[in-house]
Amino acid sequence: MENVRAYGAGLAGANFDKNTFFKKPTVLFRCAALVFGLILWYSVSKGGWHKPSDAIHPVCLYGRSSSTCSFATAVGFFAVCGAVGLIVLDAKMDQISSIPTRRRAVLADLVVSAIFTGIFLIGFFTFWSKLSAFEVDEDDENQIKTNNAKFGILSALLSFLAWGGAAFFAWRRYEEGNQATHEPNYDEQFGQVSSDVQDGYGYGGDSTGIGHVGGPTPPQSSYQSGAPPQTMQQPPANPYTQSEGYGY
């Protein structure tokens, strides 16, 4: 199994190819998640607040809930950090020779992507409903600008799609890598053939009757005497030899 690119990682010591790396679906989704996280962070922190004319402190456009605006900016910031961390981790995968370490890295990618997918799904509906419920005071003379707040809602939706795509490909890489590491070794599966099968028909019997492979065969002692000649079936080709990996 040395040639298997387990869990989507290349052979240990492989050179980093940036052209191939940035064409991976997971990397593309993470780059998109990074950009949308930056947009959400900037949109809410700069345009998610409104200062009424008769108030000292600004209020959050998402239902006048300051915790909602703080949550949006925090999620955008941590989404950027998570996307950058996973991109760096994926770039280092080709240098990891230990399959258990690769498995933990892919599993961490799957868990983080799934968590952000759920957070952005909840955040999208929360921001949308609270912005719709925002009411303007009649005596407020300051104009309300909701463009940035609406753009933050759109960024949350796009972030949900980006992290969902990254989680899907991380799950596929984990499942295929898990299957590859549990497949029986080619040599172990076809390299050990019992001596009885090598010498004759052999069905695991003793030196007499069915399974007799040596000496004169007693008349009518086995149903093999009248059987047509059989040929040894060739084992299938090893599917893992010279494998180039999954490309995730």
| pLDDT tens, residue order, the chain (248 aa) | 443 455 655 555 556 778 888 888 889 999 999 999 999 999 999 888 888 877 788 889 998 888 999 999 999 999 999 999 999 998 888 787 778 888 888 899 999 999 999 999 999 999 999 988 887 766 667 777 888 999 999 999 999 999 999 999 999 988 887 776 655 544 455 455 444 444 444 444 444 544 445 555 555 544 444 555 555 555 555 444 444 444 56
- Closest by CA to 7, choosing from 83, 109, 85, is 109
Q: Is residue 118 part of a domain?
A: yes
> Has residue 90 been placed in a domain?
yes
* Residue 145 domain flag: yes
Contact in structure between 247 and 237 (CB atoms under 8 Å): no
What is the model's pLDDT at position 226?
A: 52
Lookup result for tokens 């700069």:
46
How many other CB atoms are found less than 10 A from the CB of residue 230? 8
Query: Measured between alpha carbons, how far is 210 from 223 in angstroms, rounded to an integer?
Result: 8
- 245, part of any domain: no
- The pLDDT score that the predictor gives to residue 50 is 84
Q: What is the rounded CA–CA span in Å between residue 75 and residue 4?
A: 37
Whether the model clears a pTM of 0.85, i.e. scores above it, the answer is no
Euclidean distance between CA atoms 12 and 48, whole angstroms: 47
Distance CA 200, CA 223 (A): 14
- Whether 192 is in a domain gets the answer no
pLDDT at 231: 56
Quickly tell me which residue has 């995730």 as its tokens: 248
Reported as type and span, the H/E element at residue 60 is strand 59-60
Asked if 68 and 130 count as a contact pair (C-beta separation under 8 A), the reply is yes
* Six-digit token string for 214: 């040596």
pLDDT of amino acid 87: 93
Considering the domain boundaries, does residue 220 fall inside one? no
| Domain-embedded: residue 199 | no
Query: Does residue 139 fall inside a structural domain?
Result: yes
* Parent domain of 25: 21-178
The C-alpha atoms of residue 159 and residue 33 are separated, in whole angstroms, by: 5
pLDDT score recorded for residue 222 = 47
Q: How many domains does the chain have?
A: 1
What's the one-letter identity of residue 21?
F
The residue type of 105 is A
